[in-house]
Structure 1
């Protein structure tokens, strides 16, 4: 058992509630033992070596949190030699937490959303949350130690690389078709294809980054969203010379919908036919 697992076990033993017990992100958002926390507002994340990273978003210091749990700083780096529940009994740890309140303006995990996908942009990640027909996108900045904090700090969306940019650059080197789509979820759905998008969706089409990576690459195929925003985005790509070939989905479809409707074989045929037709 590493330090993070032990620390989470101690929070369980003393009754610290979670933002959402059904998601990994929600389980790491706990009630802070250093104040009457109905939030929950304590972020408990693992370090790359199994250590513990704790942050109370209401301002409690690390030392105050550890004092409330009767732990030394060493417990953030190394588990105690006894199980968490036994440790709580040994030190006479008795804490009372208020009922957890899931506020409407809290994090998605506290409002019944489930984590649907995590899209890695290197120095930042985009979390996609869903509850029924409602979705929310949450950016987190990746610190040098690998931990993540909510929001984009010192990073702008325009400065981020393309999604899966390294794979795309390798594919360009060997002349493979590159599919340019409008969302990370479409990229993830196009299994077996080299595809990419930019951060921010249609309103934030990153012409500069696309030109830098794709340039005048002749095997780029744009598969736009077939809606007003997607068509406006396609027009900008055309004007910038970044849409040499276009595979248009049906009305109100995106690339993921088209792939699902045609199936892998049908989608492959459509792409290969387009590439041969313009070769």
Structure 2
């Protein structure tokens, strides 16, 4: 038994970081580093302030509940809704742009909102979202539709909704007749007649250029970068599962008194350890 204890100590020295919860902490640190590096790349390429966004969620989360880019890429390209990384009062800004040529159905709305609202960090989600509905070139009918969608389904708190109202002559004439419906919204609603009025509530440097802001938002670049980030996320999750299995296996080892068998175990686990280190270096 003394020989077995010595062998166990040798293995623990060799694989120390894989034998206990330090490995999980190490992975968590890797997640944070990957998040910071990924966000710096996005900030440099798009000049977007998304430093608070979570790239990697807790690996213990049930991944099946999360939507992936693949689920919504077709809708994202329609530019029906997007996140630029802008915030107001530490709340992420979700924009429904002035896009009257694309029909935002309830099904499209739910798929988009489900995906986009999982992008910001958990703290930001809990703080609530700022929603901007730009319908300057559209009709009051679409305003009422999207307000109904929001009241029917929004997975996180809403801090405030800012509505850029339809501004055609006919729509202005209808505004007094229809506005009372919007005012009955379950969420705080501020109606703006112009971008200048919107800027009284939200700093322009947190808005995209189509809203008179300074964020040069490129949707195609954003989608491409999200794809890279999600691929990295998946790699880290898979590595986490692999290393967890390895740790569990090591903890459950029964060490034989045979020197030859012990050496075989050492060689086998040394090989697995090296493979894990190579995979970790690849992810980093």
Same fold, TM-score > 0.5, yes or no: no
TM-score (norm 1): 0.26
- TM-score of the aligned structures, taking structure 2 as reference length: 0.26
Q: RCO greater where, 1 or 2, for CA within 8 Å and sep 6 or more? A: 2
Structure ID, larger Rg = 2
Which structure: greater strand fraction? 1
